[in-house]
Structure 1
Amino acid sequence: MYAISQALCALRHHLTSTLATFTTSLVSFTLLFLLGLVLWNLGKVVSSLEREVEIAAFLKPGSDVSALREQVAAFDEVLEVRVVSKEEALAQLQLSYPYLSQARELIENPLPNTLRVVLKNPNQVRAAARKIERLEGIESTTYGGEITEQLLKVLGGVRLAALLLIGLLLLDTLFSVMGTIRLSIENRREELRVMQLVGATRRFIQGPFVVEGLFLTLLASLAALGLGLLAYRFLAAALQQLLPFLPVLGTNDLLLAAGALVLLAVVLGVGGAYLSSRANLKESDL
């Protein structure tokens, strides 16, 4: 209770420094939370696209469909192979373009038999497509992985930039907390000397400062959670209206992200306060 009461007194005593650190932490945690949610959501979008990537291998006329299917299924990277006959392909095409059914009896079916190949690892789609295309009896291959590959490259660049920004935000918050704790120590310098003379241990003296740092970042993180969740809910709702098939983070995901942010805030607050109080108390031989 002593540490908590002294920490609250210190926060009120230097209100300007407290508000500056709180505001800095609030901005940092809000940006950090939103960046984390956006990157996580982008990862889910790319994962959903990866699961839908498959190779279409078009067979030459007269090719042995069963033999080619067995050859492709034997590849280590292949998870599943489905045969789509040219009659089935034409029927699917007519569902999308009903007017083609009128010309069905006038022309011969031009579509080839096709193997639909699903891979264990979608990242191997380009190499697997080339491998399948070299088989005797395969006319050509195509796959829908080009967009996914570009998204992965973009996501990698965004992640790198976000990590650099996150690192700067965390350092800014840490140094801000350390500066506030240093000011608290300076304001109580004489009182701390008296406490040491009457037998107070260094841990006992550091306690209020550690609690003060904890309060600063914990309150800022809770406020950041409110702002971040409102902003993400708004963005997610707009995204779902525009592209309803894209996945968004669920309640459990948001709770997990919120817990991680609060834990990070506790570490920064306690760690920054401890490092600052330890360094400044040593400088003053307390």
Structure 2
Amino acid sequence: MSIAAVSAVTVTLLLVGSFISILLNVNKLATDVENDVSVRVYIDLAATKEQKDTLKTDLKKLSNVDKIEYSSREQELDKVVGSYGSEFNLFGGDDNPLFDVYVVSTESPRDTEKVAKDAEKLDNVAKVNYGGAQAKKLFNFVSAVRNIGGVIIIALLLVAMFLISNTIRITILSRRTEIEIMKLVGATNGFIRWPFFLEGAWIGFFGAIIPIAILSFVYVAAYDFVTKVLQGTYFALLAPQPFLYQIGGLLLALGVFIGAFGSLLSMRRFLKV
């Protein structure tokens, strides 16, 4: 029965740990996408260097602005050529139709719309772009991902508690006669309860070791693969350290806590002899 209980804890915590790892990384990627949204301030083609410097100073004075990066017309053209093909090399020198750009990062992704509207009012600004309705849809999507992910994680933890505590209850049920005999010969509730409390904790402990080992191996392999795929982008999975320590600690604590207190709760009916 103990082996069966450890196996049940192992399978349950492996599923819980896998889903939590996936959901937390989905949330991390969603946050990276959200943080990638920035305000692009296109500088008037007729603006002098002094006017560009003045515009940068005015942008820094706006509230909720975190940092500002400058991208010249030539750099913008290189990006277009890299994205759409070498035929855009025709637009060189004075034929380059693109603008010099200030890329403004905000303190919070939600501040982009406000910063964009404030930037439009400044001198020597040709136009401002931050994604508009598409950015709003993105923020709403990221918010929904976080909310749904939180609900799923809580539901998984509750399911894990239910399954593990029921498994522990079955192991105690198979030894109810032993408990009743100890009670009838004068053993106190505390004397009877402690061995089962410790046994439940050990079942939870050993049941958590295997899922932690499997998750660590699989996650490191997946992290290396995804990192290569996402190389050159702003997106990344949660780093194995300290993430694996955190998820391992969570599963270990969850297994021990549910195993120990599940034993105590399951024994109450057998102590009333």
TM over 0.5: yes
> Which residue of 37, 42, 58 corresponds with 1:58?
42
Matches within 5 A, 1:133-282: 133-135=120-122, 137-143=124-130, 146=135, 149=139, 150-194=141-185, 196=186, 200-244=187-231, 246-248=235-237, 249-281=239-271
Distance 1:37 1:94, change over 3 A: closer
Distance 1:100 1:232, change over 3 A: closer
Distance 1:99 1:215 in 2: 68
Letter in 1 for 2:8: T
Letter in 1 for 2:100: N
2:27 is aligned with 1:43: yes
Letter in 2 for 1:174: S
TM-score in terms of structure 1 length: 0.75
CA contact (8 A) 1:54 1:116 kept: yes
> Which residue of 8, 16, 31 corresponds with 1:32?
16
Distance 1:89 1:177, change over 3 A: same
CA contact (8 A) 2:43 2:127 kept: yes
Deviation by residue 1:111-134 (Cα, 9 ceiling, x = unmatched):
223221011222322333334335
Give the number of aligned pairs. 262
Distance 1:135 1:188 in 2: 81
Distance 1:170 1:133, change over 3 A: farther
Shift of 1:205: 1.7
| Structure 1: gaps of 5 or more residues | 1-14
Percent identity between matched residues is 19
CA contact (8 A) 1:50 1:122 kept: yes
Matches within 5 A, 1:63-142: 64-86=51-73, 89-90=76-77, 100-104=88-92, 108-135=95-122, 137-142=124-129
Q: Report the aligned-residue RMSD.
A: 3.1
Judge which range, 257-266 or 231-240, deviates more: 231-240
Letter in 1 for 2:13: F
Distance 2:114 2:68 in 1: 16
Distance 1:95 1:157 in 2: 37
| Structure 2: gaps of 5 or more residues | none
Judge which range, 78-87 or 140-149, deviates more: 140-149
Deviation by residue 1:15-40 (Cα, 9 ceiling, x = unmatched):
3xx34433332221001111222223
Distance 1:113 1:269 in 2: 63
Residue aligned with 1:188, SS: helix
Judge which range, 128-137 or 109-118, deviates more: 128-137
Shift of 1:90: 4.3
